Structure 1
């Protein structure tokens, strides 16, 4: 297990959050020594995920500072598509990117970033291109990439069917695994490639997985 980084990874949580989209990411970050801190509108005020789980946020969004974080994760939620209630989280993503701290957004969170104007000049992906094309103010169609997940500097994006690829990009950005181990991790969890298992077992024995 890697040494616990000084700055936690912050996971945004809000009602209707698609909890399965970040499971691979947070579970394996934790296994590798990263601390996960949840961020909601108000610390200690419960939110209910799309899967019916109740989460008590560790930190209030207003108190989250980019300099105190190693990464901000934004997952999909029905609320991203029903109005602008979650716009403050997209605004926080703008603060992070301006400060050079990475942001990872999957599914509906990409729509929130599109409305915030954060995808206009960065390569990105989402569910489908026309999903983002319908977002008010979005001018990034020329930057859209047909891929399972995309990393463009400090911004990671992925569509709703790619939680494993999303995790892969986060791990690469944070240097969680060596490249060969990351490749094996992805092949095992995404492709069910049995040949990847011995690679991961050897890496675990060596303290690299």
Structure 2
């Protein structure tokens, strides 16, 4: 039986299309989640890889009661643009109600600027990366040098940690068993099937 809620992914111009791909595929395949693509508007956007995506809804129309988790892929825009007020409101509302938020690569800059990292273990593309892109960043004591980190409903990951990012989302939403999640991550990280066959 499919879950009642959906996994929402933010799609903005230039989003890093490969970063949420493992997570979305496995949450849909093994978790039976619907996937909703969320734009700032309903206009088509082009991903970093040139894929044209027509959002299924807009940030302003998201029903927070329908969100099982929200994924923010990376992309250069997060380093260079402020977070739009309506997206900031959505993220704060979801965080307040305990809905998981998952940010990877440069999207960690966006959530750091909004204060969502405060008091939580987290990672990014490096500690200096966060310091240089987030004026006033003061959470270095909670920074973990790891491909992906999950703490109190917040998942963060390096841009090189898409497999680990997906594994943390699978764990947060209790999709697959502990053993199957570990096996899945090992296969995709090592490019080897169990037993050593490539």
TM-score between both structures, scaled by the size of structure 2:
0.93
Kindly provide the CA deviation profile for residues 27-78 of structure 1, in whole angstroms up to 9, marking residues without a partner as x: 11111211100001112x1011000111010111011132211000001011
Whole-angstrom CA distance in 2 between matches of 1:59 and 1:196: 43
Task: Give runs of aligned pairs for residues 1-209 of structure 1, distance below 5 A.
Answer: 3-32=1-30, 33-43=32-42, 45-86=43-84, 88-134=86-132, 135-195=134-194
**What is the count of residue pairs matched by the alignment?**
195
Where 1:142 maps in the other structure, the secondary structure is helix
Does the Cα contact within 8 Å between 2:60 and 2:86 map onto a contact in 1?
no
Give the drift of 1:133.
1.1
**Are the structure 2 counterparts of residues 19 and 87 from structure 1 closer, same or farther at C-alpha, using a change threshold of 3 Å?**
farther
> CA offset at residue 97 of structure 1?
1.0
Aligned partners of 2:121, 2:88: CA distance in 1, in Å? Answer: 17
User: Is the alpha carbon distance of 1:196 and 1:27 closer, same or farther for their aligned partners in structure 2, counting shifts above 3 Å?
Assistant: farther
CA–CA separation in structure 2 for the residues paired with 1:41 and 1:124 = 26
CA distance in 2, matches of 1:63, 1:48: 21
Query: TM-score scaled to structure 1, two decimals?
Result: 0.88
| RMSD across aligned positions (CA) | 1.7
Gaps of 5+ in 1: 199-209
Closer/same/farther in 2, CA of residues 178 and 197 from structure 1, 3 Å limit? farther
Q: CA deviation at 1:129?
A: 0.3
> Which is richer in helix?
1
Contact 2:83 2:110 in 1 (8 A): no
